[in-house]
Amino acid sequence: MSNPVRKKRYWQTRELIVIGTFAALTKVASLLIAIAGGGMNPVSLVLKNIVATSLLIVLVYKVRKFGVLTLYALINSLVSLLFLGGNVMALPGMLIAGIVGDGFIMMTGGYKRAWALVLGVGLFDLLSRAISLGYSYLTVREEPRLLIMAAIIVAIGYTGCLLGLGSGLLFVKELRHAGIVRE
Amino acid sequence: MPVLSENSKISNDPGIIQRLDVRTKMAICALSSIVALFLEGIYPLSILAVASMVYALLHKRLVVVFVSYGAILVMGLMAAFCVKIMTVVMPEMGKMEIQLFFSPFLRVMILVNVILALALSSRVQSILAALKTLRLPLVIYLPAAVMIRFIPSFIVDIKQISESLKIRGYHINPLTITFHPLLTMRLLFVPIVVRALRSSDELAIAAELKGLGYSEKISYYKTTALSLADYCAGGVATTLLCGACLFEYHDKLF
Amino acid sequence: MIRFENVSYQYPFQTQKALDSVSFAISEGEAVLFTGVSGSGKSTLIRLINGLAPHYYHGQVSGQVLVNGHDNATRDINRIADDVGTLFQDAEQQFFALSVEDELAFAHECRGVGPDKIKKTIEEVVDRFFLERVVDSAIFDLSEGEKQKVALASIVSLKPGIIILDEPSANLDPEATAELATTLDKLKEQGITIVVVDHRLYWLSGLIDSVFVLQGGRIVESGDFSILENDTKRVNHGLRKTQIRDSRKDLPHVREADTTAIEIADLTFAYRNKRLLFDHAYITLPVGEVVAIVGENGAGKTTFARLLTGLTRMHSGDIRMNGAVLKPRALLKKGSIVLQNTDHQLHMKTVRAELEIAAKGLPESERNRRVREIMQHFNLDELALRHPQSLSAGQKQRLVIACGMIKNPDVLILDEPTSGLDGLNMKIISDKLKQLAGLGVCVLVITHDLELIEEACGYQLRLPLNMEI
């Protein structure tokens, strides 16, 4: 007797694979742009964030499910920690940002609404940077003015994220036109 | 970073750090980062900074370690320069006191050393084994394994795309990135996003066809148990961290 | 073992059926070939066997697909996977791990099999597929043939009764293809049912029991392998040849050519800490004929192409074109390479924009004229506004060659331009290459495709240079 179709798990294998693929691509792309653009080049700083956020938008379009940002943040932080020189203290911050981002999308209309996805990703980017700055503040609390430069860099980077929200949507539109993204 | 390359080499004679289990290195990294954050005194932070430096240097990849130190020094100097300019332009912000930089500097040193020791002793091929030792659930293990699997592939892909652009007379460099950011992004990233989407689709299909992701439990082939070296390293790290805390808080405690 | 009863299938968002009223039966231990031009429904058919259609791709199915006595409609993909294993064209794309042993273990780990049992299974397949030498290697260090063997071993280790192979020979050289045929023959002897979908046919004559030719989603021919030997039918169905002469044995060497367009003297090159690939070599390349660059993996074929176009710098040597010595920068302007992966070379929103960006160095009026000309020459007019990434494999290949040609290079190098193409598209590409060579371009083709060599190439450059047949 044939086996009936089984109850589906919350996370489908294909979704987990898409999350892993995009986490890898975001990491590699950001790193290579930073290297190609030359260290502190503000244009490459913005570009790096445009690309990372655009990719994140494509990812949430592909995997429209509560927890996608959280899982992405977790995987990214874990692998970065293991061999890319990521900061262990960034992990809780990224997780919180992911949970809040996912929660925000759920509360503002869910994963089917394009603007909810865009705002959710924007919030995730903002929070992850804010938490990371907060951690940096604790590290340099004796001389908080040392944070000025970091704050400027983060602000420039976040400008890239905001631009990336728009370019991400354009990317999705183009991928639909090419028949690569169907949802 | 050299560890990104699948061809990155680690000395054939593994050093002490390479012999340590990834769980030990992660625990040392996490504990040191937390303790360094709480400590404020110059002496306990200095003890940990020196100890962590020895820990990182035991890795035997001195060039990478010193290049990282150099980069941090440059960043630190730039941040200090920013502060200096602020105090000159806005005197109401107060004076720049060099001793206030010591504790932040030492904290950053500790953090960088423990991160370097963890990151530089891991090869991309052995990261999967490291993940296995963490005994993660499938929902984390599978995407993490996929991420690791694709990092070297995407580096090769981006290199190939950049070369195909070079053949067409378009060079990716700081100048083109600065003056033609949007065109650069399109030229470089349309092919790679398409590639990522196709690759993830193909891998997902391969996974479905191998029946992955349906089992209630996941097993781990070839995982390692903690060795005597791990217990020793853990013991030394804990002693040092406790010692540093004791040094800082002994007045309050006793 | 497999039975299709009046099966039709339509993909979501599509207006036409991909498969229309198909019926056939395959017995246990039989080896079957499905062939036909691109878009004829071969891939859809195997997706219905392994359950991807409709369980993964969704869409509408009518009729009944029975695999090992079970209706696929009532089983999930993972249950069907117990009976059916599938190997795709690009083996590397199926790998989860970075080392061979990890890869062989991965599927079993994810299925929750105990470590001892996994160890035993790995030992068995390593033995069965002769993988001892590579079991500790990194996936990226393997040749295409080895990668495919590892992927096949990984599938066989899950013990399916049916193995589907989708374009298995597309990325393989003739030697690895012959080895694959032997491996499949052994699996067939062990009672495993083999289903092959492939455009290259010559390697299958000794393996295949039944052939089905598809066209427009229907089976239009079926019988034993001999039905493919009728040339008229073969050409009508856009298929490749069933018998190919290995012309690498008698194709004249470039040094025998009467005309010389490019002369490379004193060429020396080695990668860091590796043996010399070229040691004070002297090579001449002719015009008017397509030249096949052949040789085993690692012989330096791609390196030669990179040296010739200035992408990699020679340790020593001069490259002369029509008598004048060229510097690396000039080489990059005079030469063009069309890489194997077409997706990596398509960046823009439309076919026209792709050609325009490829011609960016030319003045605007000249550029517009060239774009018009080249679109006409490569039959891309009707596709001008299509997104390049939405084109078929054959159309993409034509577009990237057109992009390579738009700046009128003196040297055009193509890396495996016909892998995975059907007979019709292979003929189109081969005719274009011959035309270009006739126009005075030095056309070099790095290829394992014996049919392309036989069709298009007039000379060969065999690497390494001291290795003659």
Distance CA A181, CA A170 (A): 12
For residue C81, the chain B residues in CB contact (below 8 A) are 208-211
Which region among A18-22, B202-206, C296-300 has the lowest average model confidence (pLDDT)? C296-300
Compare CB distances from C158 to B142, B149, B210 and report the shortest one's residue: B210
Per CB-CB distance under 8 Å, the chain A contacts of C75 are: 2-3, 5
Measured CA to CA, the distance from residue C204 to residue C32 in angstroms comes to 10
| Cβ–Cβ < 8 Å for C181, C175 | no
For tokens 């429904």, the residue is C41
pLDDT band at B15 (very low <50, low <70, confident <90, very high): low
User: Which candidate from C56, C74, C349 shows the least CB-CB separation from A2?
Assistant: C74
Domains in chain A: boundaries: 13-177
* B171/chain C closest Cα distance in angstroms: 12
- Residues with Cβ within 8 Å of residue C359, at least 6 apart in sequence: C367, C370, C371, C406, C407
User: What is the pLDDT at residue C100?
Assistant: 92
Contact C76 B212 (CB under 8 A): no
pLDDT recorded at residue B1 = 39
Query: For residue C140, which of A66, B6, A138 has the smallest C-alpha distance?
Result: B6
Angle subtended at Cα C45 by Cα B213 and Cα C41, rounded to the nearest 5 degrees: 125
A143 shares contact with chain C (CB less than 8 Å): no
Q: Is residue A37 predicted with pLDDT exceeding 80? A: no
Q: For B147, which of A23, A38, A89 is closest by C-beta distance?
A: A23
For residues A73 and A95, the answer to whether their CB atoms sit within 8 Å is yes
pLDDT for residue C145: 87
Q: How far apart are CA C67 and CA C80, in angstroms?
A: 8
| Beta bridge mates, C31 | C194
Would you place residue B19 in the very low, low, confident or very high pLDDT band (cuts 50, 70, 90)? confident
Which chain B residues are Cβ-neighbours of A88 within 8 angstroms?
Answer: 26, 29-30, 33, 115
Between CA C463 and CA C367 the distance in angstroms is: 37
Place of tokens 């003659």: C468
Q: What is the pLDDT of residue A5?
A: 46
| Closest chain A C-alpha to B118 CA, distance in angstroms | 6
A141 → chain B, closest CA residue? B104
B-chain residue closest to A87, CA distance: B115
Q: Chain A residues with CB inside 8 Å of B209's CB?
A: none
Strands C276-285 and C193-197: unpaired
- With an 8 Å Cβ cutoff, are C389 and A180 in contact? yes
Any B CB within 8 A of A8 CB: no
Give the residue from chain C lying closest to A178, CA to CA.
Answer: C390
Chains touching C (3+ CB pairs < 8 Å): A, B
Using a CB-CB cut-off of 8 Å, the residues of chain B touching C105 are: 221-222
Assign A16 a pLDDT band (cuts: 50, 70, 90).
Answer: very high
Helices vs. strands in chain C: H and E counts, helices first: 15, 19
B7 pLDDT tier (thresholds 50, 70, 90): very low
State yes or no: pLDDT of A165 exceeds 90.
yes
Mutate to test the interface with A, among B193, B205, B209 (most CBs of A within 10 A): B193
DSSP C99: B
Model pLDDT for residues B161-172, shown as the tens digit of each residue: 888 888 877 877
Residue appearing with tokens 């960088």: B112
> Per-domain residue ranges for chain B?
14-122+224-254, 124-222
Which tens digit of pLDDT belongs to each residue from C229-264?
Answer: 888 888 888 899 998 888 888 899 888 888 788 889
Put simply, the answer to whether A82 touches B131 (Cβ < 8 Å) is yes
User: If you average pLDDT over residues A58-77, what whole number do you get?
Assistant: 94
Among B130, B177, B214, beta carbon nearest to A47: B177
Pairing of strands C262-270, C276-285: antiparallel
CA distance C74 to C64: 11
Per the CB < 8 A criterion, the answer to whether C131 and C150 are in contact is yes
Chain A residues within an 8 Å CB radius of B20: none
Read off the pLDDT of residues B215-252 as tens digits, 9 standing for 90 and up. Answer: 767 787 877 778 888 899 999 999 999 999 988 887 76
Residue B151: closest CA among chain C residues belongs to which residue? Answer: C98
Q: Do A178 and C389 touch (CB under 8 A)?
A: yes
8 A C-beta contact, residue B112 and residue B36:
no
CB-based contact B154:A25 (threshold 8 Å): yes
Contact B2, B94 (CB under 8 A): no
Mean pLDDT for B68-86 is: 83
Q: CB atoms < 10 A from the CB of B84, how many? A: 12
> Where do the DSSP E strands lie in C167-315?
193-197, 210-215, 218-223, 262-270, 276-285, 290-294
3-state secondary structure of A43: helix
**Chain A touched by C343 (CB under 8 Å):** no
Instruction: Using the Cα atoms of residue C361, residue C366, residue C372 and residue C377 in order, give the sign of their dihedral.
Output: negative
Mean pLDDT calculated for residue range A108-133: 92
Query: E strands within B103-179?
Result: none
Residues from chain C contacting residue A4 (CB–CB below 8 Å): 74
Nearest CA in chain B to A83: B119
Q: Considering only residues B197 and A8, tell me which one the structure prediction assigns the higher pLDDT.
A: B197
Instruction: Answer whether B123 touches C (CB < 8 Å).
Output: no
pLDDT at C72: 93
Task: With a cut of 70, say whether residue A147 has pLDDT above it.
Answer: yes
Q: Would you call A149 and B82 a contact, using CB atoms and an 8 Å cutoff?
A: yes
DSSP label at A8?
P
Q: What CA–CA distance (Å, rounded) separates A152 from C36?
A: 60
Interchain proximity B212–C107, CB inside 8 Å: yes
Query: Is pLDDT above 50 for B28?
Result: yes
Q: Which of B103, B122, B177 is closest, CB to CB, to A43? A: B177
> What pLDDT does B11 receive?
43
Q: In what order do the strands lie in the sheet with C19-26?
A: C19-26, C2-10, C60-67, C70-71
Nearest C-alpha neighbor of B148 from the set B121, B134, B127, B133? B127
Contact in structure between B6 and C140 (CB atoms under 8 Å) = yes
Per run of 10 residues, the mean pLDDT along chain C (length 469 residues) is 94 89 94 91 93 90 94 90 90 86 88 89 92 88 89 93 92 89 94 94 93 94 91 87 86 85 89 86 89 86 88 88 80 83 88 90 88 88 90 87 86 88 87 89 91 92 68
**Contact between chains at A177 and C12 (C-beta distance less than 8 A):** no
> Is the distance from CB of A17 to CB of B204 less than 8 angstroms?
yes
- At B14, the pLDDT band (50, 70, 90 cuts) reads low
Q: Is the pLDDT reported for residue A104 higher than 90?
A: yes
Tell me how far apart the terminal alpha carbons of chain C are, to the nearest angstrom. 45
Residue C193 backbone dihedrals phi, psi, to 5 degrees: -80, 130
CA distance C105 to C113: 9
CA of A54 to nearest chain C CA: how many angstroms apart?
Answer: 16
**Among chain C residues, CA nearest to A21:** C96
- Pairwise CA distance, residues A70 & A76, whole Å: 10
Query: Residue C70 is nearest to which of A2, A6, A178, comparing CB atoms?
Result: A2
The band of A38, judged by pLDDT with boundaries at 50, 70 and 90, is low
Tell if the CB–CB gap between A179 and C387 is shorter than 8 Å.
yes
DSSP structural state of residue C447: -
Give ∠ CA C238-C239-C240 in degrees, rounded to 5: 130
CA distance C77 to chain A (A): 9
One DSSP character per residue, A64-122 reads: -STTHHHHHHHHHHHHHHHHS---TTHHHHHHHHHHHHHHHHHHTT-TT-HHHHHHHHH
Q: Supply the pTM of this predicted model.
A: 0.83
ipTM: 0.87
pLDDT of res. C439? 87
Task: Answer yes or no: do A2 and C389 touch at CB < 8 A.
Answer: no
- In angstroms, the Cα distances linking A28 to A43, A175, C294 are 18, 21, 34
